[in-house]
Structures are given as C-alpha cells and as structure tokens.
Amino acid sequence: MTMTTYRPRAVLFDLDGTLIDSIPDIQEALNDALAERDIDPFDRASVRVMVGGGTGILLERALLRRGVSIEDTERDRLVSRFLEFYEPRASRLTTLLPGAPEALAACRRRGMKVGLVTNKPAAPSRSILEAFGLLADFDLIVGGDAGPAKKPNPDLLLHAAERLDLSAGSCLFVGDSENDVEAARGADMPVAAVENGYTQLSMDEMAPTYRLASLHDLDALLEALPQV
C-alpha cells in the first residue's frame, strides 16, 4: 500500500468496532431473529467474531455455526427480520468507543471532510450517530446498501472519495478489522487501524499503514503528517 506523506484532506471512518461498540444490540437482534426459527442463541464473544461483513454475512455465519441450511429466499427473510428487530433499538445498548467524539472534533478543527463508510445499512447508521449527537460531524455517510460492493471490496471507499470529489490517496480511512485494511489497500487509500477491534487478527497480520492504540491517538497522527 502506498503510504501518504501528507495530511489527508478527508478522514473516512468505519462504524462498528471503530467508533462504537454495537455488539450488545446486534447480539439481541440476532438471537431474537434466530429464536423464531428455534435456533440456539449466541453469546457476545461469538457475535463479535461474526460481524464485519454486513447483515447478510452475519446471518450466514450464524447459520453455518449452527449447522442450519436454508434457501436464499428464507435467508433474505431472516435478514429482513433481523433488521426489524435491530433498527428500532440500534443504540439502546451500544456505546461510543474511547476517543470517538474527540477524533471527529480533531478532523473538523483541521478543516478536513469527515465521512462514514460502513457495511451497515445507512438508516441505522444515521440513527446511531444521531443518538450520540454525532450526525452533524459527518459530511457523508455511505452504508452497505449504497450500491457498491461491501468491504473488503474497495468500492465503498472509492465511492465515498468520488462523492467528496477527492482522490482515494488524499483520504485516510480509520477502521478496526481486516476487512477495513483490505478495502483500503484495494482502493490505494492509507488506513489507520484501531487496536482491539472486531477482528481475530493481530496488527502485524493486518499490516495497516498506521496503528492507533485508540481513537485518542488520531489527533497526534494527523498533527505528525505535513500539510500539502
């Protein structure tokens, strides 16, 4: 991946595992949807390693772990049912991760554009940000239902950069998982990975451009990069 030597003009953030800990609400909605089909529930640790690919992938992983096979039409109904459970309460148990508001404020203070690029659908993403008073900090929200292929495909990131009228290389993506790093690598976009995210891989295995112990460190990273 090409490492930028200049301060980015925009910072794009992942949502789950980067800005928020959403596992408790996802777990409840998943288990409620599965319970209607008499499928055993999952604990939070199990859900944590299944998220990251979007709602459809989450349900596929859950069914696979339970040894359940269903037709595509039934899977689509299950996805819809999960969203019916999840969207009305997407911020009930969800919490902000340390440094999230400060990281967004640091970007705004430096005059950078701020975007959200997530595999989660846009509607619950917006409602979560609004619940925490962060929606106004974003110039752009690109959800997994925007049209382009989801991460780890780079298309969502490229779509976001295009909408901001910027090159991918002039943006910085902040994420937490191998999906985020792989998507950024495919887009030729520098990526900062936050430790302790929704991944089983180490930082060395993911090999992001930059490493952040927490979002509190983003301001120092931006300060260290020279302006164009």
Annotated catalytic, 14?
yes
- Residues 196 and 104: their CA atoms lie apart, in Å, by 19
SS3 157: helix
Catalytic residue among 14, 137, 176, 180: 14
- Residues 198 and 21: their CA atoms lie apart, in Å, by 9
DSSP secondary structure of 103-128: HHHHHHHTT-EEEEE-SS-HHHHHHH
- The alpha carbon torsion through 33, 39, 45, 51 (nearest 10 deg) reads -50
Question: Hunting for tokens 């490493």 — which residue is that?
Answer: 211
- Residues 126 and 134: their CA atoms lie apart, in Å, by 9
Q: Strands 95-96, 20-21: parallel, antiparallel or unpaired by DSSP?
A: antiparallel
Residues known to be catalytic = 14
